[in-house]
Amino acid sequence: MSPVFCETMKNIDGMMKRAYNASGVVIMPGSGTYGMEAVARQWCSGKKALVIRNGYFSYRWTDIFEQTQIPSETIVMRGRAVDDEKTPAFAPPPLAEVVEMINKEKPAVVFAPHVETSTGIILPDSYIKAVADAVHAHGGLFVLDSIASGTIWVDMKATGVDAILSAPQKGWTGPACASVIMLGERGVHATRNSQSTSMVINMRKWLEVMDAYLAGGFAYYTTMPTDALTLFERAAMATEKVGFDKVKQMAWDLGTECRKMMASKGLKSVAAKGFEAPGVVVSYTDDATMFAKFKSKGFQIAAGVPFMINEPAGNNTFRIGLFGLDKIMNKDNCINTLEPTLDEILRENAEAAGAEAAS
């Protein structure tokens, strides 16, 4: 293996450990979803799982489990509407109820989204730590999906999270090419002392691959996306050069400003107050063609998807992704680019509605 790439692997390992205060790092070819299935196979095969579902992309845990039959049993706790409006704001399931369920059912693993892409809900650190404490009380493990967290790093030692799932393309301004799994001390121990039910996404084997690189050698398991991981390394270095704490605060500043701007135009957030993610802003709209209108003006946004949390039928949403150093380091430019286009679309919609009412 190229000595240059060996250094790349060691550099990525070090940066991930520093960003998340992690004890171990697994880099596995594929994507974030590969990591989701990998950690489930490694830690939860034939055991009881509890899933905190705050939207469609945490429904993916259920989708994986139904197709693979990994756990023996799955308990799902869904996000809740916090008002009775036609377009309700949503919050995670109440923490007290989650802790009570963990104490009662004693799941082997709890799976939760740090940031839920479809609703823009973020779990606060205090919520995360309370869940970790509850599951650790009976010897269980806590997995946090941080694929859509952007640069809102979670401190694994402070919160007690056992595994954090990420990927290069959102939090790290890198190319999609791999699943990146950070492990706490419990997570490292659990991985080294368990057997996966997969050949290719065997988390223990991929941890041992990283061991080999850190020892000054290398190990082959399956082919690594070497060129893309080198780009990931460069992007992560650029992020660390700015400062992990600084880019985290910049992300909060940009998200807060964007949400404030959109709320001023009458756009209601799907995420309830106190649970509003900075990197993913999901808003209700009466216009089912919002995605197409942004696209026609050269903007890439995402159309809404079902939340899978018993939400009212028939509502339309759209979401804005605020990932990447180019955005978070240029807050004013980002807002000043987005706002005029949003104003134009809202004005066109109002004019069309007025014309229809007059006809």
- Number of Cβ within a 10 Å radius of residue 87: 19
pLDDT value at residue 359: 72
Pairing of strands 80-81, 90-91: antiparallel
Encode pLDDT of 24-71 as tens digits.
999 999 999 999 999 999 999 999 999 999 999 999 999 999 999 999
pLDDT digits (tens, 9 = 90+) for 273-327: 999 999 999 999 999 999 999 999 999 999 889 999 999 999 999 999 999 999 9
Q: Which of 68, 14, 78 is nearest to 45 (CA)?
A: 68
Amino acid at 5: F
pLDDT of residue 356: 77
**319 is an annotated ligand-binding site residue:** yes
Q: How far does Cα 65 stand from its chain's mean position?
A: 19
Of 215, 212, 145, the residue nearest 182 (C-alpha): 145
Integer Cα distance of 49 and 62 in angstroms: 10
- In this predicted structure, what is the pLDDT of residue 321? 96
Q: What is the full DSSP assignment across 107-133?
A: -SEEEEESEETTTTEE--HHHHHHHHH
Q: In what order do the strands lie in the sheet with 73-78?
A: 24-29, 178-183, 163-166, 141-145, 109-113, 48-53, 73-78
Q: What is the pLDDT of residue 307?
A: 96
Quote the CA–CA distance of 145 and 147 in Å, as a whole number.
6
CATH, domain 244-358, list 3.90.1150.10, 3.40.50.720, 3.40.50.140, 3.90.380.10: 3.90.1150.10
Q: What is the pLDDT of residue 214?
A: 98
With CA atoms as reference, report the closest residue to 39 among 153, 167, 144, 176. 144
The answer to whether 315 touches 284, Cβ cutoff 8 Å, is yes
Q: State in words which class domain 3-242 has.
A: alpha beta
Alpha helices of 21-124 — where are they, by DSSP H?
32-44, 56-68, 95-105
Confidence class of residue 355 from pLDDT cuts 50, 70 and 90?
confident
- Nearest CA-CA partner of 134 in 153, 112, 119, 165: 112
What pLDDT does 196 receive? 97
pLDDT at residue 170, rounded to an integer? 83
Indicate if the pLDDT at residue 1 is higher than 90.
Answer: no
Per-residue pLDDT band for 352 (boundaries 50, 70, 90) equals confident
112 and 145 in contact (C-beta within 8 Å)?
yes
Taking only the tens place, the pLDDT of each residue in 185-236 is: 999 999 999 999 999 999 999 999 999 999 999 999 999 999 999 999 999 9
Q: Give the side-chain half-sphere CA count within 13 A for 236.
A: 26
Look at residue 212 in the predicted model and tell me its pLDDT.
97
Average pLDDT over residues 163-185: 95
3-state SS, residue 55: coil
Domain ranges of the chain: 3-242, 244-358
Range of lowest pLDDT (158-167, 222-231, 259-268, 295-304): 295-304
Query: Of all residues in the chain, what percent carry a pLDDT higher than 90?
Result: 95
